[in-house]
Chain A
Amino acid sequence: MITAERKPLDEIIDYIKPFSRILLVGCNECVTVCAAGGRKEVGLLSSALQMAFMKEGKVLDVKELTLERQCDPEYVEELVPLIDQVDAVVSMACGCGVQEVAKRFKEKPVFPAVNTKFMGASERQGVWAERCQGCGDCVLGMTGGICPVARCSKRLLNGPCGGSSNGKCEINPEVDCAWQLIWDRLKSLGIEKTYEEIVPAKDWRTSRDGGPRKIIREDLA
């Protein structure tokens, strides 16, 4: 999922200070799962913002709506009946959702309420960790299902660096060395030989280095 964290309230309040009617839009997908921008977080933020305004002797009218998905135009369309009743939109979706709303309603200011972080997985309740960088050329088949691009601090592709110590990365003793994990996994699968194969320099053009990316499925488009 795409993970996110709520922005500091001061920053959100700064965005909406000039307005008295806002539409607070949540998203039912990734940000709901990582408890950053689902229906519940929309309710909490709405309440917090209203109280922050009340404290200053001002009134903030908040309309709340959580869309099934904010990154799809057909769902964003559901905002149409509400948009004229507000001065600005605050989105609790990831950056994709914020941009879809901004694209659809060009005449309304749209502000993000969360910082979009990374593509990750739940390690346990309340803990999410980065698992994928969307490099566009997946190497998981060679690395026992553990990604060196997302999980090795240096994105190394041919084994660990000298900073690997007791299975941990030198950047932080809490961070596992991805190559230690890969080696352990290859060993348990009995395919240590894979480790010997030299991986040539990765073509990063499939990643962000090639500029903004697009997928076109001719059969669907």
Chain B
Amino acid sequence: MDTFEPVIVAFCCHYCAYTAADMAGTMRYSYPPNVYIIRVPCSGKVDALHIMKAFQKGADGVYVAGCLEGDCHFKTGNIKAAHMVAYLKGLLDEIGIGAERLEMFTMSAGMGERFARIATDFTERIRKLGPNPAKAGSDKTDKVAVG
């Protein structure tokens, strides 16, 4: 467990969080390399299936980062994303993966420090939770297959 390095997938809106990540770099704020950023044209463009597939393929945590409320480039994409994330949290709880492995954050393009802090805090949260139970289960399967 000590050596567990979580894999975090962050779906970042091009107009805010992705630029905020860039800003974090420019401002020399570091954030954990565990966070794999996927740039999307709007947080509302993130499909529930993208998130489920991320977990299925071994992500330990996933977050969607969109614009501050009222600032969405496409009016309400971030609100829709928040609703979708809330729905998926329920589904993740139902299958025993855990709602706390998924989160929605909002920020503006200038919030480099907030981006770095969220990336760090979320990585630590997932590190404490341990590996994605589905991944742990599939490791078990591999062992059974080898044994």
Chain A residues in contact with chain B, CB under 8 A? 8-10, 40, 43-44, 47-59
The verdict on B135 contacting chain A, using a C-beta distance below 8 Å, is yes
A-B contact pairs, 18 of them (CB 8 A): A8-B94, A44-B48, A44-B91, A47-B52, A47-B53, A47-B56, A48-B91, A51-B56, A51-B134, A52-B95, A54-B56, A54-B134, A54-B138, A55-B133, A55-B134, A56-B137, A58-B137, A59-B138
Please name 12 further chain A to chain B contacts, defined as beta carbons within 8 Å, in addition to the given A44-B48, A52-B96, sorted by A numbering.
Answer: A9-B91, A9-B94, A44-B91, A47-B49, A47-B52, A51-B52, A52-B95, A52-B134, A54-B138, A55-B136, A57-B138, A57-B140
Give CA–CA (A58, B136) in the complex, Å: 11
Give CA–CA (A96, B135) in the complex, Å: 37
Give CA–CA (A10, B96) in the complex, Å: 10
The secondary structure that dominates the A interface is: helix
Partner of B141, one of A40, A44, A47, A58: A58
Give CA–CA (A205, B134) in the complex, Å: 53
Give CA–CA (A44, B51) in the complex, Å: 10
Which positions 98-147 of chain B face chain A at CB distance < 8 Å? Answer: 133-138, 140-141, 144
| Chain B: interface size category | 20 to 34
| Interface-centre pick from B53, B135, B138, B140 (highest chain A CB count, 10 A) | B138
User: What distance in Å separates the Cβ of A157 from its nearest Cβ neighbour in chain B?
Assistant: 40
7 pairs of A and B residues whose beta carbons are closest in the complex: A57-B140, A47-B52, A54-B134, A51-B134, A55-B137, A52-B95, A9-B94
Give CA–CA (A58, B133) in the complex, Å: 12
User: What distance in Å separates the Cβ of A20 from its nearest Cβ neighbour in chain B?
Assistant: 11
Give CA–CA (A50, B132) in the complex, Å: 14
The verdict on B55 contacting chain A, using a C-beta distance below 8 Å, is yes
User: What distance in Å separates the Cβ of A159 from its nearest Cβ neighbour in chain B?
Assistant: 40
- Chain A residues near B134: list those with CB within 8 A: 51-52, 54-55
- Chain B residues near A57: list those with CB within 8 A: 137-138, 140-141, 144
User: What distance in Å separates the Cβ of B22 from its nearest Cβ neighbour in chain A?
Assistant: 31
B95 nearest in chain A by CB position: A52
A6 nearest in chain B by CB position: B91
| Interface-centre pick from A47, A54, A56 (highest chain B CB count, 10 A) | A54
| B141 and A51 contacting across the interface, CB-CB below 8 Å | no
- Chain A residues near B48: list those with CB within 8 A: 40, 44
